[in-house]
Amino acid sequence: MPSGEAAIPHSPATLKLDGYLPYRLSVASNAVSRLIARAYEDRFGLTIPQWRLIAVLAEDGPLTQHAIGSRTVMDKVTVSRATQGLVKRSLVQRAPHDVDGRSHRLALSKAGARLYKEVAPVALEYEARLLQEFEPAAVAGLKQLLLHLERIAAELAAGDGAAASAP
Amino acid sequence: MPSGEAAIPHSPATLKLDGYLPYRLSVASNAVSRLIARAYEDRFGLTIPQWRLIAVLAEDGPLTQHAIGSRTVMDKVTVSRATQGLVKRSLVQRAPHDVDGRSHRLALSKAGARLYKEVAPVALEYEARLLQEFEPAAVAGLKQLLLHLERIAAELAAGDGAAASAP
DNA sequence: GAGATATAGTTTCATTTGAAACTATATCTC
DNA sequence: GAGATATAGTTTCAAATGAAACTATATCTC
């Protein structure tokens, strides 16, 4: 990490909670998550982890739980529990993994695929409403920024003073 | 809410989880919160609610718990617990509210103010690191967008089909 | 091929969270 | 000013979360 000199300060020298990024981010994310969680729960009986799992199976086809976890940034415990709920409702099918006896191959069932087709437009509609006042370019920029933040936060967390330069 | 016609779609007609705003937002926010939470906990023994409480008392001076809650978008239970912890460590002082017997006036103690002066630069440094690769304008835009999202999410949550037009 | 070590997934447990019930005080209506 | 109703803050309880221990299977090393 390049040492010392404070480059262009992006933040005022004095802290203002209202303009503090981690705060703004957390508050916005909570508000959105809460809205979405309620919608999925009320309309489809799905938790957010379950929804993510369905979405990723619909997009990428059959996956192991491990793959789902890394693909969707969810803990293995979270994935395990989401899976159990979905299997119980027969929205997801589990087959043994042919080459690895510890693992399973998860796939959407017919019913799961049908449900996905119902949920996806609702999901898109919520997103559209949330973003309706913004320029498409601004939205694209926001998403890029979020991805970037995520990466940097992970880097800082990994080597918070330690490994940062060496690959 | 204006009816029907789908204006300019900000989102593709097909859902891609990776580009789905609520997902990106949640993942980014979790990554940042986790980083920050660990930092505050390790270095200062503060939880995020406690940190928010200190920050807002430092900025705005004495407040009731209720005021802190609405100012920082925290549940009254969260504020209550954060307060208890801080009072126990004598970082915050509680005085009866002169006009309202149910309420209290919370203020930073000397020690609390000192701690704030230690934490604030660390907080700013984390923010600066998270944002170091971005243009100041992009950062300002992001914060605006987050505020906006928060407001819209709250509106949608309040009247999710119900009251939306009538004031 | 027999340990040793790693990985997929589950279970257990302790912590966090927030809704709902509760207590105490204010305010409003008659 | 006596209920009725609202509000500040706490406590209680149930659900969500994720770290750590655990089980079962793979892989690696000799």
**Residue B46 exposure: Cα atoms within 13 Å on the Cβ side:** 26
Domain ranges of chain A: 22-158
- At residue B13, the pLDDT reads 75
Checking if the pLDDT of A5 tops 60, the result is no
- At residue A158, the pLDDT reads 81
Residue/partner pairs of A10-14 with CB below 8 Å, 24 or more apart? A10/B127, A10/B128, A10/B131, A10/B132, A10/B134, A10/B136, A10/B139, A11/B124, A11/B127, A11/B128, A11/B131, A13/B124, A14/B120
Question: Measured between alpha carbons, how far is B33 from A119 in angstroms, rounded to an integer?
Answer: 29
Q: How many residues in total does chain B contain?
A: 167
Question: Please, what is the angle between helix A21-44 and helix A110-131, to 10°?
Answer: 140
The token pair at B104 is 């209290």
Q: Do B32 and A25 touch (CB under 8 A)?
A: yes
B63 and B103 Cβ atoms separated by less than 8 Å: no
* Element spanning A108, H or E: strand A104-108
Write the pLDDT tens digit of every residue in A55-92: 999 999 899 999 999 999 999 999 999 999 999 999 99
List the B88 CA – C21 C1' distance (angstroms): 26
Among B41, B52, B156, B160, pick the best mutation site for testing chain A contact (most A Cβ within 10 A): B156
Return the DSSP state at B160: S
Nearest DNA or RNA nucleotide to B97 (CA to C1'): D8
A62 and A109 Cβ atoms separated by less than 8 Å: no
**Would you give per-residue pLDDT tens digits along chain B (167 residues)?**
444 444 455 556 789 999 999 999 999 999 999 999 999 999 999 999 999 999 999 999 899 999 999 999 999 999 999 999 999 999 999 999 999 999 999 999 999 999 999 999 999 999 999 999 999 998 998 999 999 999 999 999 887 534 433 33
**Amino acid letter at A30?**
N
Q: Do A8 and B120 touch (CB under 8 A)?
A: no
Checking if the pLDDT of A137 tops 70, the result is yes
- Residues β-bridged to residue B105: B95
- What fold characterizes domain A22-158? Arc Repressor Mutant, subunit A (1.10.10)
Nucleotides of C under 7 A from a protein CB: 7-12, 16-20, 24-27
Mean pLDDT of A107-125: 96
CATH code for residues B17-131 = 1.10.10.10
Chain A, residues 46-75, CB within 8 A of chain B, namely 48, 52, 55-56, 59, 72-73
Return phi, psi of residue A70, to 5°.
-75, -35
Chain A, residues 17-46, CB within 8 A of chain B, namely 17, 19-36, 38-39
B159 Cα to chain A: minimum distance (Å): 11
- At residue B112, the pLDDT reads 97
- At residue A9, the pLDDT reads 52
